[in-house]
Amino acid sequence: MTVTAELLERNRTHADHHPGRASSLVPSLQTVLVTCCDHRVDPAHVLGLRLDEAVVIRNEGGRITPDVLRTLTTLATVALVEKLDLDIEIVVMHHTDCGTSRLARPEHAALAAQIFGVSENELDTKHLTDPVAAVTSDLRLLRSTPLIPTDMRLTGLVYDVETGAVDRVEEK
């Protein structure tokens, strides 16, 4: 059986139990989760997320990049257009042994700078080898973004790929 055939079979099982159309564009947990695209960090497994509970944005390292900020802007615009009543929390979850930590090497500086929308001289501020410092940095970046209301709840998490445990990172 091919991978695609296997995935389609799994989807048939899913569709047989699907509850139907979600009633709202607003996720039931009123949460936007930004996390890594790494296959070891699937939030449905790591955090027990189910369909309709959160908007999940996955990218390199789960980082707050210019692309993520554009996505958040789009989501905010849709919420305004639809006049949605929101009390959203943004959760940023990084993890140990992240592939983006390999981009801290000098030979990858140009690529890393492009991903993060910074100069190569500013890469140290992204803390590519320290997930706790990286989460703190990303929360600080969100706080300084005009799109994010000052009273919006922002939460930082770090997932340990070896133990399966998630720890909260306090804003500093």
How much is the mean pLDDT over the chain? Answer: 92
Please give the sequence-ordered ranges of beta strands (E in DSSP) within the chain, or none if there are none: 31-36, 54-59, 89-95, 153-159, 166-169
DSSP state of 40: T
Average confidence (pLDDT) over 42-50:
95
Using CA atoms, how far residue 41 sits from 5, 35, 80, 113, in Å, is 24, 8, 31, 23
Q: State residue 24's pLDDT score.
A: 82
Confidence at 1, pLDDT banded by 50, 70, 90: confident
Residue 17 Ramachandran class (φ > 0 left, ψ -120 to 50 alpha, else beta): alpha
What is the distance between the alpha carbons of residues 36 and 13, in angstroms, rounded to a whole number?
A: 27
Please identify, in words, the CATH class of the domain defined by 28-95+132-169.
alpha beta
Rounded to 5°, the CA angle 140-148-144 comes to 35
DSSP string, 119-143: -GGGGGGG-TT-HHHHHHHHHHHHH
Predicted pLDDT of residue 19: 80
pLDDT tens digits along 66-77: 999 999 999 988
Q: At a CB cut-off of 8 Å and minimum separation 6, what does 100 contact? A: 36, 60, 61, 63, 112, 115, 128
Which distant-in-sequence residues (6+ apart) come within 8 Å of 11 by Cβ? none
Q: What pLDDT sits at residue 21?
A: 75
Q: What band does 4 get if pLDDT is binned at 50, 70 and 90?
A: very high
Max CA distance (Å), the chain: 53
Q: Which positions ≥6 away from 7 have C-beta within 8 Å?
A: none
pLDDT tens sequence across 47-63: 999 988 999 999 999 99
Percent of the chain with pLDDT over 70: 98
In the predicted model, is pLDDT for residue 172 greater than 80? no
Residue 96 has pLDDT above 80, yes or no: yes
pTM for the model: 0.91
Say what percent of the chain tops pLDDT 90.
76
For 90, half-sphere exposure in the C-beta direction (CA atoms, 13 angstrom radius) is 28
